Structure 1
């Protein structure tokens, strides 16, 4: 993760884009990229969406959109000084307490 963060930061710095990379702008760009990912899956059935990577063209588009999401999320976290891995691990531990296996297994009910 550190290598990706450094590469994305260097990419922005080389182009003098850090002036545009405010948290608001990056969050908006991230939302836009998530929207593009959603558009690729929007009208697929559940079975089609599960098999989307079997289609080389659709798979390439999904892979590219996920890469865009990852890049913007990485950049946003870097600008805000957030360790993505640490944050995800902490959140996963919190959710594990909120949804213990014996109570949540097989259920989509929110708590």
Structure 2
């Protein structure tokens, strides 16, 4: 998902600051969850019209920063656990395709165990 050069920059950024000591998998997962919650805050209590207006304003940068924070922590966690994000996403896509066949779920938001 993140190209090799950018990954190397992220790892170097962390190493230069000696932050690896704080980046245990548990702590990265916690940080990822916190950043995801901050991303949710951006949308909380807002209508679709308000969100659309914010996306066209200088507030868009705040959203982009929150998305970047989520991506950075997910990248660190995947890197440290030696998980290839592209491979696991491709594998999950195959599983989801089997769980949610188009002919049964098209246009529906049901969970896989709720449709017939």
Answer yes or no: same fold by TM over 0.5: yes
How many matched pairs?
110
In the alignment, which residue of structure 2 is the partner of 1:23?
Answer: 25
- Please give the alpha-carbon distance, in whole angstroms, between the structure 2 residues aligned to 1:88 and 1:47: 32
In the alignment, which residue of structure 2 is the partner of 1:90?
Answer: 91
How much has 1:7 moved relative to structure 2?
Answer: 1.7
1:107 correspondence with 2:77: no
- Please give the alpha-carbon distance, in whole angstroms, between the structure 1 residues aligned to 2:54 and 2:94: 31
1:38 correspondence with 2:40: yes
SS at match of 1:62: helix
Unaligned runs of 5+ in 2: none
- Please give the alpha-carbon distance, in whole angstroms, between the structure 2 residues aligned to 1:49 and 1:102: 33
Unaligned runs of 5+ in 1: none
Inter-CA distance 93–49: structure 2 relative to 1 (3 Å threshold): farther
Between Structure 1 and Structure 2, whose CA radius of gyration is higher? Answer: 2
Give the TM-score normalised by structure 2: 0.87
Inter-CA distance 28–45: structure 2 relative to 1 (3 Å threshold): same
Inter-CA distance 54–75: structure 2 relative to 1 (3 Å threshold): same
- The Cα RMSD (Å) is 1.4
SS at match of 2:22: coil
SS at match of 2:111: coil
In the alignment, which residue of structure 1 is the partner of 2:5?
Answer: 3
